[in-house]
Amino acid sequence: MNWLKRRVRPEQIRELSLLVLILAAIVFFGSFIDNYYSFRTFNRIASSVAIITVVAVGQTLVVLTRNIDLSVGSIVGFTAYFVGTLIASHNGINPILAVAIAIALGAALGVVNGVIVAWGKVPAVVVTLGTLAIYRGVLVDLSGAKTVTTDSLPQWLIDLPLVNVAPIGSLDIRALFMLALVIVVVFQIGTTYLSFARRFYAIGSNPEAAQLIGLPIKSVVFLAFVICGALSGLAGFMLLARFGNITVEAGRGLELSVVAAVVVGGVNVFGGSGTVTGAMLGAVMIGTLEQSLFRLGISEFWLDAVLGLLILLAVASDAVILQRLRQLWGGAELKLMAKETDSVSSEQSASPP
């Protein structure tokens, strides 16, 4: 048990318990729905989850630093619309260039948020509540209420969501879901092993201490917003690829789904703890429920009520379980520390001063 406690942190068990919860939900729905264990179910859940996941990764970084970005829905809509318009008028555009433009556009909007939060010292809620309205408003004004339609887009973009990048048996891993997975893996490894990326955690868990040891708080917060914007831009491109038809309303309200995924995924809204993998699991949990309730033939009107209840239960059970685990772990750590100080003091007494 002590061995286990030294290897694993309570926060990691949290993700494991969420995974168990998702599997339990799948088994539960599988016993009610015919043909539930099929690749179609998987594909449906995967493609609905991919876009939310990408934004949730960015949002996680922002929330880790004790901030929040409510403007993500508007950034997604903004980039989806403008990149869509660009591709519609220049059908021959290089796909990689188009993706790069989407990311850059999102990052630029993130820069605005980041500068005002980090250097303007305006609370993130205030800033992003404002830019939520501003980005959407500018989009509506500039668009002249026109829409991007599927038939104006080149074939490669329309086909993109159906591209099967990694066929495992007859299981398809489609391009957009693969992209989301890659992003989660990259950011998970980054935030775990790069000392640079650990700063997101350091600043969120104790800003005063982070300041005292000389961390560049402003630059790190700024960077979190820029990355969140960039990933939202990428998500805008994914939205364009998935739906083809993009109106000025695209992505409206997405911020709530993203914050819900992050919260269900166990990222602490007060900063400092949580992982991007957790955020992805949160998105998968919500996506699984949405698709399954739909398949179960439950009226769509029940969906939101169940979802609200689920978020509440996830947050509550998370808080209670984590508290218990921390107590359990805390005991072990104290014993360990006592042992270490014992050995240190005996070494000191053995060697002459």
Partner 1 sequence: MSAVGTLKSWEAMMLALLVAIIAFNSVGSPYFLSVGNFVNLFQLSIEKSIVALTMALVIIGGEIDLSVASVMGLAACVMAWTFHAGVPMPAAILAALGAGILAGLNNAFWIARVGLPSLAVTLAGLIGYRGVARILLEDRAIGGFPDWFNTIGQQALIGPLTAAIAIFFVLFIFFAIVLHGSAFGRLVYVVGSNAQAARYSGVRVGLVKAALFVGSAFVAALAGILYAARLGSVRGDMAEGFELDVITAVLLGGVSIFGGKGNLVGVGLALLVILNLRNGMGLADITGNTQNYVIGGLLILSVLIPNMWQELTNKWRGRET
Residues at the interface with partner 1 (CB under 8 A): 68, 116, 120-123, 125-127, 129-134, 136-138, 140-141, 253, 256, 259-260, 263, 269-270, 299, 301-309, 311-312, 315-316, 319-320
Q: Which is nearer to partner 1, 233 or 282 (CB)?
A: 282
Residues 235, 56 contacting (CB under 8 angstroms): no
Beta-strand ranges (E) seen in 223-328 are none
Q: What sign results for the dihedral spanned by CA atoms 199, 202, 207, 212?
A: negative
Shortest Å distance, C-beta 80 to partner 1:
18
- Retrieve residue 155's tokens: 């074939």
Q: In angstroms, what CA-CA distances link 277 with 205, 223, 280? A: 19, 20, 5
Q: Which is nearer to partner 1, 139 or 234 (CB)?
A: 139
Shortest Å distance, C-beta 259 to partner 1:
6
Shortest Å distance, C-beta 314 to partner 1:
9
CA dihedral 149, 152, 155, 161 (to 10 degrees): -20
Q: Which is nearer to partner 1, 90 or 324 (CB)?
A: 324
Q: Which is nearer to partner 1, 101 or 139 (CB)?
A: 139
Shortest Å distance, C-beta 120 to partner 1:
5
Q: Which is nearer to partner 1, 15 or 290 (CB)?
A: 290
Q: Which is nearer to partner 1, 83 or 264 (CB)?
A: 264
Residues 286, 265 contacting (CB under 8 angstroms): no
Shortest Å distance, C-beta 44 to partner 1:
21
Shortest Å distance, C-beta 96 to partner 1:
32
Q: Which is nearer to partner 1, 126 or 336 (CB)?
A: 126
CA distance 36 to 262: 27
Shortest Å distance, C-beta 327 to partner 1:
15
CA dihedral 329, 330, 333, 337 (to 10 degrees): -170
Burial class (CB in 10 A: 0-12, 13-18, 19+), 99: middle
Cα-atom radius of gyration of the chain, to the nearest Å? 23
In this structure, how many other beta carbons lie within 10 angstroms of the beta carbon of residue 235?
35
Q: Which is nearer to partner 1, 308 or 330 (CB)?
A: 308
**Residue written as token pair 């917003």:** 225
End-to-end CA distance of the chain: 38
Shortest Å distance, C-beta 129 to partner 1:
6
Q: Which is nearer to partner 1, 231 or 258 (CB)?
A: 258
In this structure, how many other beta carbons lie within 10 angstroms of the beta carbon of residue 316?
10
Shortest Å distance, C-beta 283 to partner 1:
15
- Retrieve residue 81's tokens: 């619309």
What does the DSSP assignment read for 126-165? HHHHHHHHHHHHHHHHHHTT--B-GGGS-HHHHHGGG-BS
